[in-house]
């Protein structure tokens, strides 16, 4: 099989580039001096190859060819080969990864993707709208009341705040039925179709129990932070769940893996139907180019993988809707959380403004 | 309950420090403007508190008091509250975390720890020795032969290379029985007690199957990269496994979470009996102070938690044994992998030198 092409940016002088590139190739495959390997097949077929070195001012990019066989076609080992040991080298950043088609075929990617999310929400011809239940520590009753307000305003998706998990103030087993019921009632009143995306967290037993509760109460969308529960757990969760999953970037430490590679490419490979990422100009420092590249990666044609829905978020307000829609286009979900909640007693009104702004674009 | 004290280093000017500290406190708890929270109890008991701000030249340290209730006393949500969203802010580093005793009591920490590893290996009064089976891509027969050579030389622990997982060249189900058998035979010949630590990887089903195989074949030590399989999976694995676990730092991206906090403190809280970390002067750029601090954190008295065994590794050679033993002391495992394998036809001799050097200290 062709190699996986992984591009690393190394902050070091150009004179070191060849030596550093060869060292990185050994580090990300056999993790021993190549000269000490007696088996010719291992040297030829297992050791990562240096495919290209591209010098820049003060750094250089190295493209390694990683043998697909070393990954076991399994998510944790793939991440290990891409960024296991070299994640500990502060001068090394993984900036891109490209897979041969035969390798991509070993993964399912998104099970629902953009089309599945449009079908579930019934939204066509415009971006989707999303907000978050906050703050953590609120009572279940308060969260359910908030959800009702948002659903009556016509939001497409209401997700848990990424900090609302399975805590004593709002245990999953109490919160999810209550919020789902509040949204279902609002949907009946308005004829709307708002979805609730609760946070799934914890180990495999907790995730299985949360899946059971979600199914029992008719939840139709899930929110998961793959880097927090572990990427293999994220993939396993999808199998039994049967509903689309939104990936949250918490704990992604994305400044060390370039955000388009981690959030756009890898999380799509691992099955995120929608990918939340920090929009430019908000609380996080991603540039506009980085954000547009994440969205491009999430939706570009890629073998047999469905596109993921980009979800720019983080410190957004209703006044930015026009600009975001013109930047990201239609196949997007706009997520405004705190920017609605700061309206306090005008929450319903601000929520309706958001909905109108997107519907009017 | 008292607060969890998390210290963050923020690269920004001192004049911004109060504003940035308050913003971080909101980010790592309620993730919305605190002024917009109507519930007084949430403002008082859930929003993270700014406990201290310490200015330095060009950066400042902020100590946040995180409410234990927000973590659900569960690993993925704890990591979320410590470093979820702010992992995406390149100017923020988590440099320390301290837990109130009542919180620590919710976790078991290492089930075996230093004493359990000494009992399993039968080694007392000196550091333990460790090496790695490499390179990945070798045949199972070659790996078993290597293991036999190391066991005959008297190594205490032989671990899989962190890149050897469950791949077609050496599937877990074939490799582990073969290597364990080779080591058991060598132990019978020498009267020795060498342990094998195979790599556990993948999702919960793969981990359960690997546990079954390991138990069936009498494996007495496990190697796991908690950040690759996911920290909740690492904790769950320990429950059914019944043998000590060594934590590998792959994918830890430790330049963003200070290595002593992640590898020393957090992985101990989550149950690592031994913690592998990159020694200073090897292929990774950790300073001597960082390495000694990781070891100190792993072993210092900490409530009811057993100490973890520090395992400095990464580009070490036999010539450094004396210096490493005087630096790290007796409750240490010295891991030399490639540094033995580069001896090629003198592998048995170099391995015996390593064993003698440690036994003679």
Under 8 Å between Cβ of A216 and A244: no
Q: How many CA atoms lie within 13 A of B16 on its CB side?
A: 11
Q: What is the pLDDT of residue B361?
A: 66
Distance of CA A290 to the CA centre of its chain: 14
pLDDT band at A1 (very low <50, low <70, confident <90, very high): confident
Measure the CA angle with vertex B128, ends B354 and B272; round to 5°: 135
Distance from CA of A142 to the nearest CA of B (A): 10
Which 8-state DSSP code applies to residue B346?
Answer: G
**How far is residue B110's CA from residue B116's CA, in Å, rounded to a whole number?**
9
In chain B, the residue whose alpha carbon lies closest to the alpha carbon of A39 is B138
**How far is residue B125's CA from residue B354's CA, in Å, rounded to a whole number?**
16
Measure the CA angle with vertex B280, ends B274 and B283; round to 5°: 95
In whole angstroms, how far apart are CA B290 and each of A90, A157, B227?
A: 14, 45, 20
Which of A140, A172, A230 to mutate to probe the B interface, most B CBs <10 Å?
A230
- Please tell me which residue, B255 or A100, carries the higher pLDDT value: A100
Please list the residues that pair with B4 across neighbouring strands.
B66
Q: Which of residues 160-179 of B touch A (CB under 8 A)?
A: 161-163, 165-169
**How far is residue B67's CA from residue B48's CA, in Å, rounded to a whole number?**
6
Where do the H-state alpha helices sit in A154-256?
172-190, 204-216, 226-229, 231-241
Give residues with Cβ within 8 angstroms of A231, minimum separation 6. Answer: A75, A76, A79, A270, B228, B230
pLDDT at A282 over 90: no
In whole angstroms, how far apart are CA A261 and each of A83, A291, B229?
A: 12, 11, 20
Average pLDDT over residues A5-31: 94
B1 touches chain A (CB under 8 A): no
For residue A16 the two structure tokens come to: 């070191």
Sheet holding B92-98, edge to edge: B49-55, B60-66, B4-10, B92-98
Q: How many CA atoms lie within 13 A of A265 on its CB side?
A: 21
Q: State whether residue B64 is helix, strand or coil.
A: strand
Q: CB B256 to CB A253 under 8 A?
A: yes
**How far is residue A127's CA from residue A124's CA, in Å, rounded to a whole number?**
8
B354 touches chain A (CB under 8 A): no
Task: State phi, psi for B8 to the nearest 5 degrees.
Answer: -115, 145
**How far is residue A136's CA from residue A161's CA, in Å, rounded to a whole number?**
7
Under 8 Å between Cβ of A31 and B337: yes
Which 8-state DSSP code applies to residue A265?
Answer: I
For residue B246 the two structure tokens come to: 């060594």
In chain B, the residue whose alpha carbon lies closest to the alpha carbon of A263 is B88
Distance from CA of B353 to the nearest CA of A (A): 18
A203 touches chain B (CB under 8 A): yes
Which 8-state DSSP code applies to residue A199?
Answer: E
What is the value of pTM for the model shown?
0.91
Q: CB A80 to CB B162 under 8 A?
A: yes
Q: CB A203 to CB B342 under 8 A?
A: no
Q: Which of residues 298-327 of A touch B (CB under 8 A)?
A: none
C-beta neighbour count of B150 within 10 angstroms: 30
Q: CB B203 to CB A75 under 8 A?
A: yes
**How far is residue A278's CA from residue B14's CA, in Å, rounded to a whole number?**
25
Which 8-state DSSP code applies to residue B46?
Answer: T
For residue B24 the two structure tokens come to: 């971080």
In whole angstroms, how far apart are CA B347 and each of B131, B225, B312?
A: 12, 27, 21
Q: What b-and-e string marks burial along B112-132, b requiring 16 or more CB atoms within 10 Å of the CB?
A: bbbebbbebbebeebbbbbbb
Q: Which residue has the tokens 């234990």?
A: B68
What ipTM was predicted for this assembly?
Answer: 0.89
**How far is residue B275's CA from residue B223's CA, in Å, rounded to a whole number?**
10
B345 touches chain A (CB under 8 A): no
Of B75, B89, B235, the CB nearest to A284: B89
Q: What is the dihedral of CA B305, B309, B313, B316, to 10 degrees?
A: 150
Which of B80, B81, B314 to mutate to probe the A interface, most A CBs <10 Å?
B80
Q: CB B202 to CB A249 under 8 A?
A: no
Peptide bond into A135 cis (omega under 30): yes
- What is the full per-residue pLDDT of chain B (361 aa) written as tens digits? 899 999 999 999 989 999 999 999 999 999 888 998 999 999 999 999 999 999 999 999 999 999 999 999 999 999 999 999 999 888 899 999 999 999 999 998 999 999 999 999 999 999 999 999 999 999 999 999 999 999 999 999 999 998 999 999 999 999 999 999 999 999 999 999 999 999 999 999 999 999 999 999 999 999 999 999 999 999 999 998 999 999 998 998 777 788 999 999 999 999 999 999 999 988 777 899 999 999 999 999 999 899 999 999 987 899 999 999 999 999 999 999 888 988 989 999 999 999 999 998 6
B249 touches chain A (CB under 8 A): yes
Q: Where are the beta strands (DSSP E) in chain A?
A: 4-10, 49-55, 60-66, 92-98, 128-133, 157-160, 195-197, 199-200, 222-224, 245-247, 274-278, 309-313, 333-335
Of B81, B232, B255, the CB nearest to A233: B232
pLDDT at A90 over 90: no
Which of A228, A313, A335 to mutate to probe the B interface, most B CBs <10 Å?
A228
From the list B310, B322, B314, the residue with the least C-alpha distance to B354 is B322
Least confident stretch, A107-121, A250-264, B186-200: A250-264
For residue B295 the two structure tokens come to: 């070891």
Least confident stretch, A5-14, A168-177, B234-243, B278-287: B278-287
Give residues with Cβ within 8 angstroms of B150, minimum separation 6. Answer: B131, B158, B194, B340, B351
Peptide bond into B135 cis (omega under 30): yes
Q: State whether residue B165 is helix, strand or coil.
A: coil
For residue A304 the two structure tokens come to: 């047999």
Which of B135, B141, B198, B343 to mutate to probe the A interface, most A CBs <10 Å?
B135
For residue B110 the two structure tokens come to: 């290492």
pLDDT at A241 over 90: yes
Under 8 Å between Cβ of B155 and B190: no
């Amino acid at each position: 099989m062709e190699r996986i092409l992984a591009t690393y940016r190394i902050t070091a002088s150009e004179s070191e580039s060849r030596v550093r590139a060869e060292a990185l190739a050994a580090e990300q495959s056999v993790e021993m001096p190549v000269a000490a390997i007696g088996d010719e097949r291992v040297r030829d077929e297992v050791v990562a190859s240096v495919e290209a070195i591209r010098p820049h001012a003060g750094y250089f990019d190295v493209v390694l060819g990683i043998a697909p066989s070393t990954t076991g076609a399994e998510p944790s080992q793939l991440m290990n080969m891409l960024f296991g040991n070299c994640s500990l080298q502060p001068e090394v950043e993984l900036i891109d990864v490209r897979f041969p088609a035969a390798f991509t075929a070993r993964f399912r990617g998104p099970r629902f993707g953009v089309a599945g999310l449009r079908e579930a929400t019934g939204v066509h011809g415009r971006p989707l709208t999303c907000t978050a239940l906050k703050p953590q520590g609120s009572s279940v009753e308060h969260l359910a009341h908030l959800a009702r307000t948002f659903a009556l305003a016509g939001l497409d998706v209401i997700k848990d705040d990424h900090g609302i998990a399975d805590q004593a103030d709002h245990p999953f087993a109490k919160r999810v039925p209550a919020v789902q019921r509040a949204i279902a009632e609002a949907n009946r009143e308005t004829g709307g179709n708002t979805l609730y995306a609760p946070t799934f967290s914890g180990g495999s037993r907790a995730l299985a129990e949360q899946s059971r509760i979600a199914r029992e109460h008719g939840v139709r969308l899930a929110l998961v932070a793959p880097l927090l529960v572990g990427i293999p757990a994220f993939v396993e969760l999808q199998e039994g769940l049967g509903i689309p999953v939104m990936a949250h970037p918490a704990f992604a430490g994305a400044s060390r893996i370039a955000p388009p590679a981690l959030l756009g490419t890898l999380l799509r490979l691992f099955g995120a139907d929608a990918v939340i990422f920090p929009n430019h100009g908000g609380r996080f420092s991603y540039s506009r180019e980085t954000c547009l590249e994440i969205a491009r990666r999430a939706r570009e044609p890629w073998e047999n993988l469905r596109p993921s829905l980009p979800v720019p978020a983080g410190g957004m307000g209703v006044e930015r809707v026009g600009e975001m829609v013109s930047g990201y286009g239609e196949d997007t979900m706009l997520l405004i959380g705190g920017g609605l909640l700061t309206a306090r007693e005008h929450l319903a009104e601000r929520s309706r403004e958001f909905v109108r702004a997107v519907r009017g674009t």
